[in-house]
Amino acid sequence: MNYDVIIIGAGPGGIFSAFELQRTAPELKVAIFETGNSLEKRVCPIDGKKITSCIGCKSCAIMNGFGGAGAFSDGKYNITNQFGGTLHEYIGKKEALELMEYVDRINLEHGGGGTKLYSTANSEFKKLCMQNGLHLLDASVRHLGTDINYKVLENLYSKLNDSVDFHFNTPVHSIKLIDGGYAVETDKGEFTAEKCIISAGRSGSKWMETVCRDLDIPTRSNRVDIGVRVELPYEVFSHITDKLYESKIVYRTEKFQDLVRTFCMNPKGAVVNENTNGIVTVNGHSYEDPALQTDNTNFALLVSKHFSEPFKDSNGYGESIARLSNMLGGGVMVQRFGDLVRGQRSNAKRIEEAFITPTLTATPGDLSLVMPKRILDGIIEMIYALDKVAPGTANDDTLLYGVEVKFYNMEVEISERLETRHKGLYVIGDCSGVTHSLSHASASGVFVARDIASRK
């Protein structure tokens, strides 16, 4: 065998697997194979001047490389079992929380010290939400900020680089069962190991499907979340974000009884493009450094769609809606809330005259031509509900960018040790369908590393 453990993917799941293996079983020979670049070489070519929109690089600098999908993210580590994944259903609530707290400590020791931990529990705002038909979920939130998050990753990399073999720009094409372990096929040849941890994230979801087919690992289709990114002046939400930073608020619509929720709140942040498998969607982030902050706050409003038989391709459904917005807008589309409710397309003039400056250059358009009515009606209802706890949310000039899609990987059948039916083959992080956040993905990495160390 070339290695004791091969890790596929250098996102939070892969990084924390390697970190914990280095700490608990330093004698093991560990390698990480990663499609993307090392951290310092991850540069998106969009410079806003020569290149203004996505050119579809072979490996996306935003999604792939050391740090994974979260490398340029806001670095919000939500320490909770209430959202961000269902890791607790496999390993228990207590252990899941303890692991997320452990990850938080590691981040603090590696450059995150001094960042703020917010808590939503028992806040005045929770009461206000209840009084207005909104439900605020409980969580502790560590906000590293995009800049500190990057520093933490730099520090973790230099620590891991002492003992872990990194193979960047080396996608794993396939995994084979061999006598006593696994062989991974890459452009640089075949590498073998006794144990293999797959942590290929959301960008590796299609590849993961082929792995499960090849190795006969059962899967279940999952869900997709569809919605918009809302951008408004910072002041509208400041009474909430100053105290809680991130608030996850859930609302049940009157019309369809659907659940709409806020997601990824970025005070003084920026709206950004996201490229998943060539489809441009929208996301947001914010910096800890005041010099890099903006005058706006952004957050997503999402509606989850769960499909029943015979339809299985929930991600395909989300992709089709995102493709429609790409077709009409050449990328992401933006519309003023006032234009949306009046049934008119936003145009460049109306966006320019608005009392808010968009942080993302997007094509003014009409979201009602893209989003299914049921989803759009739910979003409009929630904006009016939020207006009661944050007056100004339903202002005409509130900007809605579309579409935001949260793709979920199919759920891979794994045991309570996060191991597949093949002994020593683990599937963790977002590609397992079990996690969809930095903290849960990282915690799943620590969990399997400890499992491997304990079974040595």
Ligand X SMILES: Cc1cc2nc3c(=O)[nH]c(=O)nc-3n(C[C@H](O)[C@H](O)[C@H](O)COP(=O)(O)OP(=O)(O)OC[C@H]3O[C@@H](n4cnc5c(N)ncnc54)[C@H](O)[C@@H]3O)c2cc1C
* Nearest distance in Å: CB 435, ligand X: 6
Amino acid type, 81? N
Asked if 107 touches ligand X (CB under 6 A), the answer is no
What is d(CA 376, CA 381) in angstroms, rounded to the nearest whole number?
9
Asked if 437 touches ligand X (CB under 6 A), the answer is yes
Residue 118 has φ and ψ, to the nearest 5°, of -100, 155
Both tokens assigned to 395: 């202002």
- Cα angle at 232 between 230 and 236, to 5 degrees? 120
* Nearest distance in Å: CB 208, ligand X: 8
Of 9-17, 118-126, 153-161, 212-220, the window that binds ligand X (rule: CB under 6 A) is 9-17
Of 32-40, 216-224, 360-368, 411-419, the window that binds ligand X (rule: CB under 6 A) is 32-40
Beta-strand pair 164-167/30-33: parallel
Both tokens assigned to 146: 């995009």
Of 70-78, 252-260, 294-302, 388-396, the window that binds ligand X (rule: CB under 6 A) is 70-78
* Closest CB to ligand X among residues 198, 394: 198
What is d(CA 387, CA 398) in angstroms, rounded to the nearest whole number?
11
With CB under 6 A as the contact rule, the residue among 6, 46, 69, 249 that binds ligand X is 69
What is d(CA 129, CA 137) in angstroms, rounded to the nearest whole number?
10
Asked if 70 touches ligand X (CB under 6 A), the answer is yes
* Nearest distance in Å: CB 259, ligand X: 19
* Closest CB to ligand X among residues 182, 207: 207
- Cα angle at 20 between 18 and 26, to 5 degrees? 80
* Closest CB to ligand X among residues 266, 346: 266
Helix, strand or coil for residue 274? strand
With CB under 6 A as the contact rule, the residue among 42, 88, 195, 202 that binds ligand X is 202
Helix, strand or coil for residue 135? strand
Asked if 30 touches ligand X (CB under 6 A), the answer is no
What is d(CA 113, CA 109) in angstroms, rounded to the nearest whole number?
6
Q: What share of the chain is helix, strand, coil (3-state, %, to 5)?
A: 35, 25, 40
Asked if 433 touches ligand X (CB under 6 A), the answer is no
How does DSSP assign 367-401, residue by residue? GGGTS-HHHHHHHHHHHHHHHHHSTTTT-TT-EEE
What is d(CA 202, CA 216) in angstroms, rounded to the nearest whole number?
20
Asked if 201 touches ligand X (CB under 6 A), the answer is yes
With CB under 6 A as the contact rule, the residue among 21, 270, 303, 438 that binds ligand X is 438
Beta bridge partners of 261: 250, 302
Q: Is the peptide bond before 184 cis (omega within 30 degrees of 0)?
A: no
* Closest CB to ligand X among residues 152, 394: 152
Beta bridge partners of 184: 175, 191
Asked if 393 touches ligand X (CB under 6 A), the answer is no
With CB under 6 A as the contact rule, the residue among 7, 8, 136, 279 that binds ligand X is 8
Asked if 265 touches ligand X (CB under 6 A), the answer is no
* Closest CB to ligand X among residues 12, 402: 12
Beta-strand pair 223-233/411-412: unpaired
Residue 39 has φ and ψ, to the nearest 5°, of -55, -50
Helix axes 438-454, 12-24, angle to 10 degrees: 30
With CB under 6 A as the contact rule, the residue among 340, 429, 433, 452 that binds ligand X is 429
Amino acid type, 37? N
* Closest CB to ligand X among residues 33, 337: 33
Contact code string over 36-55 relative to ligand X, x by CB under 6 A:
x-------------------
Asked if 207 touches ligand X (CB under 6 A), the answer is yes
Of 11-19, 227-235, 336-344, 376-384, the window that binds ligand X (rule: CB under 6 A) is 11-19
Contact code string over 270-309 relative to ligand X, x by CB under 6 A:
----x--------x-x------------------------
With CB under 6 A as the contact rule, the residue among 4, 6, 11, 427 that binds ligand X is 11
Of 69-77, 221-229, 348-356, 416-424, the window that binds ligand X (rule: CB under 6 A) is 69-77
What is d(CA 266, CA 71) in angstroms, rounded to the nearest whole number?
16
DSSP label at 431?
G
Residues that bind ligand X (CB under 6 A): 8-14, 33-36, 64-65, 68-70, 73-76, 78, 84, 171-172, 199-204, 207, 264, 274, 283, 285, 429-431, 436-439, 441
